[in-house]
Amino acid sequence: MSDSQQRQEQHSLSMMYGTYADILFVLFPFLVITMQRLWDGNLADILMRPDLSIAAAILAGLAIGKFVLGLVSNRDLGRFKERIVFFIALTLFVVLGPAIILMLSIVGSGNVPGFVAFVQPVLLIIAISLYTTAVSISNILTREGPGDTDTGPSGGLHGPAAPAAGHEPLAIPSRTDSDTI
């Protein structure tokens, strides 16, 4: 295995760890809520509450942000722009919309239908899959080029570790003595 392949694999592994760390960070509060409900003896109510829909909506929103980042980061995408827009629409249509509808319906209704216990985990799994895909696409599109093998942290929620070549850094004017108040 060549050195560049090994660095590419290390970059992919770092990206995967960063992505799943983000997912675990988002899901942690819901794990705490679930553990509290288990402690209280409300095991049957876990899937009938809006918690999983809230987590799915958060991850769907993060996925849309990553897809948009990938869309605006590289102006030379050509035919890939339609695919990214498709993934944004898919995320809205398949996860975000149904998750919000389920949240509102569960909170606003005293009688929650049984299918909710099946639909919410499916939405969460789809949201995790779409977020993972979004991070992968965003990182591929924001790389410096095909030979980029940066092994630094992928950033997950925070984007790539360093700006891509060809992008100008943000120009922040220096402070002068006349600027002090």
Percent of the chain with pLDDT over 90: 36
pLDDT tens by residue, 56-83: 999 999 999 988 887 787 777 666 788 8
Q: Which domain holds residue 18?
A: 3-156
Distance CA 63, CA 20 (A): 13
* Domain count across the chain: 1
Residue 170 pLDDT: 59
Stated pTM of the model:
0.73
The answer to whether residue 40 is domain-embedded is: yes
Long-range contacts of the stretch 96-103 (C-beta < 8 A, 24+): 96/57, 96/60, 96/61, 96/64, 98/123, 99/53, 99/54, 99/56, 99/57, 99/60, 99/123, 99/127, 100/53, 100/57, 102/50, 102/53, 103/50, 103/53, 103/54, 103/57
Residue 162 pLDDT: 46
The answer to whether residue 138 is domain-embedded is: yes
The answer to whether residue 163 is domain-embedded is: no
Least confident of 13-22, 32-41, 105-114, 159-168: 159-168
Residue 166 pLDDT: 54
Residue 167 pLDDT: 56
Work out the average pLDDT over 89-96. 93
The answer to whether residue 55 is domain-embedded is: yes
The answer to whether residue 165 is domain-embedded is: no
* Residue 2 pLDDT > 90: no
pLDDT tens by residue, 161-180: 444 455 566 566 777 766 66
Residue 103 pLDDT: 94
pLDDT tens by residue, 94-136: 999 999 999 999 999 878 888 998 999 999 999 999 999 888 8
The answer to whether residue 170 is domain-embedded is: no
The answer to whether residue 96 is domain-embedded is: yes
